Amino acid sequence: MRRRTLLEFARFRYLKVAALLLALSIAAYALDRPPVAPYGGTWLGYALGTAAAALMVFQLWLGVRRRHHRGGGRLEGWVSAHVYLGVALMVLATLHSGFQIGWNIHSLAYALMLGMVITGLYGLYLYLRIPRLMTANMGDESFADLLLKIADLDERARERVDQVPGATGDAVIVAIECTTVGGGLFRLLSGRHPDCPTRQALLRLQEPGDDPDTTRAAHQRELYSLLLRKESLLLRARRDVAYRARLDFWLFLHAPLAVATFAALVAHVVATLFYR
């Protein structure tokens, strides 16, 4: 049986809550005849703004709860509500703004909120997709197994590299000593290593020697076989690193955007009340 995702929690309870909230808000917005044009200062604008601010506080509360779990329902339910009410927040805040955008703290709060929700949805997508990809990538091995096998192949290659002197041997030594599974932000997120030393060594080992029947040629073939196996393991290890980095990275966007949205929301409320 397929495992139920957090979206389906309690038979879509929070989807229904969010849909009801949205239906009421959109109907009120459509029926409202504001004095000038729809904006945050009409009675409906204030109501939508208050509801959106309450949702925003609830969204942040999840961040607090993740660290200090003190009962009050399953975390899965909280995350389910977090997702659905986050989308509702986006629509409510849009209606609250009355589609009036400018270069000010009010629109900044709105833009940050949009960024927060969109990165949140990206995170949700990753959470729904990446664990399955990680399982498929790993098979019955763990990341530590892959590293162990890579190190083992390196050891074996090291035992044979003395038999292949010259530039080819040097390339193999570089492949053994300088190959990485991590790297900078691009390598971590993409899992791609354009100038991988193992690949360079493999290209060198592919070059045919003067006499294919010599002992040196046999060693070269053996090294090629070892590095080829190492490369396939490297690909999987790097993919695993990339998956984990991606699962981590979206929070580097989502969390600061959430806190920035809250800060801008406070400034927005103070500014609105200060100059009425």
Among 22, 152, 163, 217, binds another protein (CB under 8 A): 152
Among 62, 75, 87, 145, binds another protein (CB under 8 A): 145
Angle at 46 between CA 42 and CA 49, to 5 degrees: 130
Q: From CA 28, how far away is CA 18, in angstroms rounded?
A: 15
Q: Which is nearer to another protein, 13 or 156 (CB)?
A: 156
Q: Which is nearer to another protein, 71 or 102 (CB)?
A: 102
Provide the token pair at 10. Answer: 């309690």
Compute the least distance from the CB of residue 74 to another protein, in Å: 25
Compute the least distance from the CB of residue 37 to another protein, in Å: 5
Residues 103-142 that bind another protein (CB under 8 A): 104-106, 108, 112, 140-142
Supply the DSSP string of 224-268, one letter for each residue: HHHHHHHHHHHHHHHHHHHHHHHHHHHHHHHHHHHHHHHHHHHHH
- Name the one range near another protein by CB under 8 A: 18-26, 47-55, 75-83, 217-225: 217-225
Q: From CA 175, how far away is CA 177, in angstroms rounded?
A: 6
Sign of the alpha-carbon torsion through 20, 24, 29, 34: negative
Q: Which residues of 145-159 are buried (b: 16+ CB within 10 A; e: fewer)?
A: ebeebbeebbebbee
Q: From CA 161, how far away is CA 177, in angstroms rounded?
A: 12
Among 20, 148, 167, 203, binds another protein (CB under 8 A): 148
Site string for another protein, 13-32 (x = CB under 8 A): --------------------
271 binds another protein (CB under 8 A): yes
Q: From CA 38, how far away is CA 32, in angstroms rounded?
A: 8
Q: Which is nearer to another protein, 7 or 218 (CB)?
A: 218
- The residues that touch another protein, with contacts defined as CB under 8 A, are 33-37, 39, 41, 100, 102, 104-106, 108, 112, 140-142, 144-145, 147-152, 154-156, 178-185, 187-188, 218, 221-222, 225, 229, 241, 244-245, 248-249, 251-252, 255-257, 259-260, 262-264, 266-268, 270-276
